[in-house]
């Protein structure tokens, strides 16, 4: 995954250059840990960046911290425990693992990188009495929905693909909207890039997944 600093954030992060492309090695919905111009891994506000390449390497795994935040990090950098604290303390094993991983990322192509899909990405904003106020979908070459993200007025999200749905705000499911000529998603709405869609999907999925997890955890307590 690679990002570029937005020009308007240059004064916030003066040691980053907007024209440079930075490699993301860890992220969640509010920060990216990137390799900066000094070659160091540093966390930065995710809002400061535009995604250039949304591809998540095959070795990224999901990690949930004590506060329930979902992050994605290379499996190789999960050990030893408290990896980043050890790295910044110059722990020999942590530094060795970091350098080995970065050398691999910068020199070896990722065989899991998928070819371009040719899919389209559309966002529709609406003001219904109830239901989603924003719908973002991925459409295949036949106009059929592949993934759908819905954002609701209460700030909650729902996500769906051909395998699963998640979220607590309402039933979010793939629709025939991609092939229905009457649907605003088919020919209307705002076109998005793949990178823009992937960022919306990641934020929406993390939020919907955590809401569903919290609801499931509360259910047993309510029956006591």
Per-residue pLDDT tens, the chain, 224 aa: give them. 889 999 889 889 988 988 888 889 888 878 999 988 888 889 999 999 988 888 877 788 888 777 777 888 888 887 777 788 888 888 888 888 888 888 887 776 666 666 667 888 999 888 766 678 899 999 888 888 889 999 998 889 999 988 888 888 878 888 875 555 556 566 567 888 888 888 888 888 888 888 877 777 665 555 55
Q: Can you give the C-alpha Rg of the chain in angstroms?
A: 20
The CA-CA-CA angle for residues 180, 188, 126, to 5°, reads: 95
State whether 15 and 78 are in the same domain: yes
Cα separation of 173 and 166, whole Å? Answer: 9
Number of neighbouring beta carbons within 10 Å of residue 157:
26
What stretches of the chain show up as alpha helix (H) in DSSP? 83-88, 92-107, 184-187, 194-222
- Contacts (Cβ under 8 Å, ≥6 apart) of 56: 1, 72
Q: What is the pTM of this model?
A: 0.59
Cα separation of 214 and 211, whole Å? Answer: 5
Does residue 148 contact residue 136 with C-beta atoms inside 8 Å?
yes
Cα separation of 198 and 11, whole Å? Answer: 27
State whether 139 and 216 are in the same domain: yes
Does residue 77 contact residue 63 with C-beta atoms inside 8 Å?
no
93 is a domain residue? yes
Range of the domain at 140: 120-222
34 is a domain residue? yes
The pLDDT of residue 40:
85
63 is a domain residue? yes
The pLDDT of residue 115:
65
State whether 97 and 10 are in the same domain: yes
Q: 107, 130, 149 — which closes off a domain? A: 107
Phi, psi of 23 (to 5 degrees): -85, 125
Phi, psi of 166 (to 5 degrees): -155, 155
Number of domains in the chain: 2
């Amino acid at each position: 995954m690679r990002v570029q600093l937005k020009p308007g954030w240059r004064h916030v992060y003066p040691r980053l250059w907007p024209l440079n492309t930075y490699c993301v090695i860890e992220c969640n919905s509010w920060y990216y840990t990137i390799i900066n111009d000094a070659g160091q891994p540093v966390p930065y506000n995710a809002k400061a960046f535009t995604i250039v390449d949304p591809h998540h390497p095959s070795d990224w795994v999901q990690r949930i911290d004590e506060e329930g935040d979902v992050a994605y990090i290379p499996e190789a950098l999960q050990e030893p425990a408290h990896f980043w604290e050890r790295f910044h303390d110059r722990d020999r094993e942590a530094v060795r693992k970091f350098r080995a991983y970065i050398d691999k990322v910068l020199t070896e192509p990722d065989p899991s990188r998928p070819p371009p899909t040719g899919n389209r990405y559309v966002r529709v904003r609406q003001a219904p009495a109830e239901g989603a106020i924003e719908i973002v979908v991925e459409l295949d070459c036949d106009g059929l929905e592949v993934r759908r993200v819905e954002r609701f007025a209460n700030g909650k999200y729902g996500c769906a693909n051909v395998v699963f749905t998640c979220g607590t705000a309402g039933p979010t499911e793939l629709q025939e909207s991609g092939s229905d000529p009457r649907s605003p998603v088919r020919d209307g709405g705002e076109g998005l890039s793949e990178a823009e869609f992937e960022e919306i999907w990641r934020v929406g999925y993390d939020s919907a997944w955590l809401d569903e997890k919290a609801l499931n955890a509360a259910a047993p307590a309510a029956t006591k």
